[in-house]
Amino acid sequence: ETALCEPGVVQDQLNSVLAPRGYRLGADTSTGNRATLGGMLGNNSSGAHSMRYGKMVDNVKAVSVALARGELLKFSEIEWDQWQPETNTARRIRDTIDGIRSNLTDEIHRRFPKIQRRVSGYNLDELVGNDRVNLAKLIAGSEGTLGLATDITVKISKSPKVTGLCVLHLNDLIDGLKAVDFLLQYEPYALELIDHFIIEMGQQNPVMRNRLDWLDGQPKGLLVAEFDGDNVAEVAAKLERFDSEVGRESIAYSQVTLTEPAAIANVWHLRKAGLGLVMARRTNQRAIAFLEDIAVPPARVGEFMSAFRDYIGDAGKEAGFYGHAGVGCIHVRPMLDLKSEADADLMVRMMHDISDMVLEYGGAISGEHGDGLARSWLNEKMFGPEIYQAFIAVKRAFDPDNLLNPGKIVEAQPPDQNLKINPNTRAIEVQTFLDFEPEGGLTFAAGMCNGNAECRKTTSGTMCPSFEASRDEFLSTRARAWSLASILQGDLPLDELTGKGLYDVLDLCLECKGCKHECPSQVDMAKMKAEFLYQYQQKHGVPLRSRIFGAVDRLSRIGTATSTLSNLVLNARWNRALLGMLGIAPERHLPEFARQRFSKWFHRRKRPQPAEDACKIVLFADTWTEYNYPEIGRAAVRVLEALGYEIELCAGLCCGRPQYSKGLLDGVRSKAGRLINALYPKVEAGYRIVGLEPSCILTIKDEYGSILHSTRVADVAAACVTIDELLAESITAGRLPLQLRNEAAVVRVHGHCHQKAVVGIQSTMDVLHAVPGFEVAAINSGCCGMAGSFGYEREHFEFSMQVGESRLFPAVRAAPQDAIIVADGVSCRAQIQQGTSRNAQHLVEVVAERMTEE
């Protein structure tokens, strides 16, 4: 049972194809949503379930390989003595392997560690001791040094039908690891370690903290034991036995059993985010990868890690510990500042000392992540001179010109020769408009990217829409952060900070904030792009189009006052040509102006008499509600007053979001100051501030703290809620449903990017689930692609639509024709209409339409 794959196939994509058939790829890295099979093969990847499935070397059946001189060879299992190579290169490879099989079999058996997790060096152990040989297993773990895979045939395995977890909460990490050998007798499907550092960072992470309700207290570490079976009863019996018998050993102070898929997923989410969370600490002492891949026999992992932890403590350092306890592979990342001479020296000394210790324990220096620049120089020490020379011979047989990934596995430089951050690094702190102090400065903010490539996922979440649409690394969050960091860390000239090159890298960033929410290190590229645009325009000037978009509130005020004439002009053919000259896409339809401002209607309407104990709120009428879509404001007033709220209105004051997105930060500060001054007295009086347009109300909540140096900002921001949140609170308080008609309807929800990043869309879902007759589901849609004015710009129109086509448009088209599409964002609704000819509605419109007249 196999699958033939191209090397660029992503692990999760393959598994999504296999899952309906009841199969999966055995190797399952925590980076499965962006790890390609080619990379997994080159790295000899494995994952949490390697106790069952092994590494990629155990799962590869065949591979086609392009060699450096252009030959294409196909490797699969063959009877070695019957192989008759047809090319000089193939004959050279056969002769080299013949020599190894004849002369080094005993040495290989002696020097290769007797553990499952060993990926150091080349897999010579796969070439000896058997008449049948598969050179595909030599390509596994070769890190691209021998050839490039063009297709890969992998073994696929039956998926478990049911799984469950028992999470052991430890008072001491080492005590838990010393119990690993005992725990393995229960034959868990996986046995993973998470330390207190990851737990604490998870509790501080806005995404993760909502997934930790299963956590009991503040453990020093967790051992996650997973069991699988064919049915619920079988798994329940395994968990009951494990919980009961392990409980008698007092290994943990608490054992939490989980069988619900959502709860199990939350535990794995924390474990998979381990690297990013360890790297997320905002300090010069960073979690450095150089000994993060050690593997020792599982029976000795507690003893070894105890000695390792003592070594780190004696050096005055701390480290994050997590990984695959069941196979003895623990990822240890000591906290070091490599700009410090002392810490750079300590890193090299630690590699010498700990590698000695690893060999004493019968372990491997690389257990999963490969040798690379960090550890290749230790291979001769680990395997001895004879095997190391055999490694060199293999490399030269495949790649005699040393063209493919040179300096890895063999003939490597010492690690201190390849440090990106080193004692000679001189970080540059520039004067910024926005306050980057919470991030440790702009340089530190950019440097928070650790390259984990979460931004390269393509099937879920929001980050990163430009990469998802293009599949171009140049357009990933990682590329943008590293480009900026390269300038600020002195690798590139400082004048590149306002150069065209950096502008091009950042140009297609949609400022969706997906990275702030989903990146484990919380790299906030939207904020950094706004700062970049400000700095860039200080040197190059502000384009007229950006000034026009930034002045949308003032233009809309004029447009609504002269709405009949303004709308005629908007729709005139000659005006489209004029807009095209200004760089606005002629394919777009600019929103028409309302005949009456929302605030005018609000003050003229017949107001109900509020109850004496009515909750008082300020309804913030954003530019779009005030001048373009007053019907949304009217719907909000109807719903809120029916719920008993006493409403005051704040209208005619723009939050500054259009200017913020264009880097016009002076203007934003001016508008923010006026808005805070208007809202603060109401907040002091106990009012909540309720917003209809997510990006506007959340600009106050999320951006103003970086723009204004005022103690009032935090108070106002804390009082700001979306109307979705307020309605959800009403459900909890028992005030919703209102008198709502019970009419069956399919409802599909597209969440605004900023809403998903800052407050989430659960409140939207809760409100819609409370409406009788609704069958509600969130669209797995990512970013719509409009991104405010971005999609209206002529040069961005096509790409904007491409982003929408990634997931949103197909999902909307797939919804029943009579389905209600809910999208709170004005840009989102316009994009959905443009891309699918379907009209989406704001949540409050949908609720108002279902209200009875009683």
Question: What CATH number corresponds to the domain at position 148?
Answer: 3.30.465.10
- Could you tell me if 525 and 664 lie in one domain? no
Work out the average pLDDT over 304-314: 97
Average pLDDT, the chain: 94
DSSP 260: S
- Could you tell me if 640 and 658 lie in one domain? yes
pLDDT at 280: 74
Is residue 75 one of the residues assigned to a domain? Answer: yes
Confidence of residue 283 (pLDDT cuts 50, 70, 90): confident
Exposure on the CB side of residue 782, measured as CA atoms within 13 A: 30
Domain boundary among 680, 706, 729: 729
- Could you tell me if 686 and 747 lie in one domain? no
Which 3-state string (H, E, C) describes 487-534?
HHCCCCCHHHHHCHHHHHHHHCCCCCCHHHHHCCCCCCHHHHHHHHHH
Which 3-state string (H, E, C) describes 700-736?
HHHCHHHHCCCHHHHHHHHHEEEHHHHHHHHHHCCCC
- Could you tell me if 720 and 745 lie in one domain? no
Closest CA to 464 of 517, 532, 534: 517
Is residue 546 one of the residues assigned to a domain? Answer: no
Confidence of residue 48 (pLDDT cuts 50, 70, 90): very high
Looking at the DSSP bridge assignments, the partners of residue 193 are 223, 323
Is residue 784 one of the residues assigned to a domain? Answer: yes
332-370 pLDDT tens trace:
999 999 999 999 999 999 999 999 999 999 999 999 999
Provide the residue range defining the domain that includes 647. 552-729
| DSSP-derived pairing of the beta strands 162-170 and 254-258 | antiparallel
- Could you tell me if 596 and 667 lie in one domain? yes
Identity of the residue numbered 529: K
Closest CA to 262 of 217, 216, 213: 213
Domain boundary among 158, 189, 214: 158
Looking at the DSSP bridge assignments, the partners of residue 745 are 774
Is residue 368 one of the residues assigned to a domain? Answer: no
Phi and psi (nearest 5°) for 55? -100, 180
109-156 pLDDT tens trace:
999 999 999 999 999 999 999 999 999 999 999 999 999 999 999 999
- Could you tell me if 760 and 790 lie in one domain? yes
What's the rounded Cα separation, in Å, for the pair 512 and 339? 33
Residue 312 contacts residue 351 (beta carbons within 8 Å): no
Is residue 413 one of the residues assigned to a domain? Answer: no
Work out the angle at residue 457's Cα, subtended by the Cα atoms of residues 454 and 461, and round it to the nearest 5 degrees: 90
- Total domains, the chain: 4
Looking at the DSSP bridge assignments, the partners of residue 332 are 321
651-672 pLDDT tens trace:
999 999 999 999 999 999 999 9
Residue 683 contacts residue 716 (beta carbons within 8 Å): yes
Is residue 335 one of the residues assigned to a domain? Answer: no
- Could you tell me if 560 and 688 lie in one domain? yes
- Could you tell me if 469 and 571 lie in one domain? no
Cβ within 8 Å of residue 98, ≥6 positions away: none
- Could you tell me if 767 and 800 lie in one domain? yes
If you search the block for the tokens 């392009």, which residue do you land on?
A: 66
Is residue 745 one of the residues assigned to a domain? Answer: yes
Residue 116 contacts residue 44 (beta carbons within 8 Å): no
The CATH number linked to 837 is: 3.40.50
Confidence of residue 420 (pLDDT cuts 50, 70, 90): confident
What's the rounded Cα separation, in Å, for the pair 719 and 231? 48
Domain boundary among 710, 729, 748: 729
